[in-house]
Homo-oligomer: A and B are copies of this chain.
């Protein structure tokens, strides 16, 4: 099987294959232009007659569960990444597959992390044909070097739900690591020694996979409440000693920045939002987990507190900062997609206002709406932006695929999307003539805030009008680019092979760009 075939130029002008790993895909047609016509994936109808009446679905170990689930060559195996770099289960799944001599698996994680570099030998020996999912760090480097047998496919969190819902990716076996579960398979992420908050990234897997295995180190008597995952969708339950390392869900970036440049960017962003009237009593925003974003959240908090306003909701990746705001009464709800520290976990467990969400509620573009488009302000990062406001979030300026998409693409649908980014990193300008990899079309990106000026997308005439008398350093994006180049020189394009090693999906399942071998 060819990794890819039939390259066409899509609506963004990017060359993308339409045959990927032997299956047909649709090239990107433009934002909101691809309207699906089919029906959702229809899982097999089960019968209680085939499940234990006493609800006890436990099996002695993961190997037996995988065998009972029918693990065989070429299957699609899914896992979630709520433990982030503290996951202990995905490696075990493929250790077992390797031991059983199974080949050609498609691994469909909601994201992969450096702790899973353990799987590189299985990617080399063909146990795993390919990863379809974000590849953070070493696995991304491995793919970038053209070493993965199949083609990588990167999807946003919402795009992953969409692909499963629409039957584009049919999961044979979902393995769901759960901090708490009962023998029936009702499971949650808020209780137990490995509590990681929630299990929303595994929701589609539980709903649509043929076989669903819950793995837990905290087996409680029925009912496990809250049942974030419904046992009614689960086939087998396995008890293990340790399901994950909750201390590792903490990302190194969940501290407020101390860099003067980044603090300036944060201050400019908050001031911009305020002057543009984006902050009001009842507004909503997405608080990112990076150092700059956290700092912006603090500015928002101070504004709310000073004016005795209350935000309606914060969309999170949660950590202690939004939790403090919830507890202080500065916001009605945290709508949380993944917890980034243990304060987030505690708050979700204790506080009914700290709501666990899933890619279905927040991000799935093939639903009857989702709430990403209702958020007033989202603040996102990017590795590169171009003069047309297009942005890249997956590859570095050297072309290496080192980051996942996460919910980034989905968040672009917010009412105002702001990218607070440094003008350059390691003397490499961040604003370019053209991004290495297109992840987000410029028409959805409204404002770029750098330490040396703010550029408003010309499409946002309303913002330009509101800010026309502002003392803020407003510039064109072209001016920002030129300023960076005056300081750092014109950057050279990374030298990339023509060979494609992965494709980037848009939120509607179309292919927006290709990633080339370094």
Contact = CB atoms under 8 A, between A and B. Distances in A.
A58 to B, nearest CB: 13
Contact of A45 (B52, B53, B165, B234): B165
Nearest to A184: B369
Contacts of A54: 373-374, 415
Interface stretch (A1-9, A36-44, A242-250): A36-44
Contacts of A374: 53-55, 184, 222
A21 to B, nearest CB: 22
Contact of A333 (B42, B43, B225): B225
Contacts of A44: 38-40
A42 B50 CA distance: 23
Interface string A104-147: 00000000000000000000000000000000000000000000
A101 B368 CA distance: 29
Interface residues of A, number: 65
Interface string A221-234: 11101110011111
Contacts of A185: 368
Interface stretch (A353-361, A383-391, A486-494): A353-361
Contacts of A51: 368-369
Interface in A332-379: 333, 335, 352-353, 355, 360-361, 364-371, 373-374
A47 interface: yes
The 3 A-B pairs of least Cβ separation, nearest first, read A39-B42, A42-B42, A51-B369
13 contacts: A39-B44, A40-B42, A45-B166, A53-B373, A55-B374, A184-B369, A184-B374, A223-B335, A225-B333, A225-B352, A225-B353, A232-B367, A233-B367
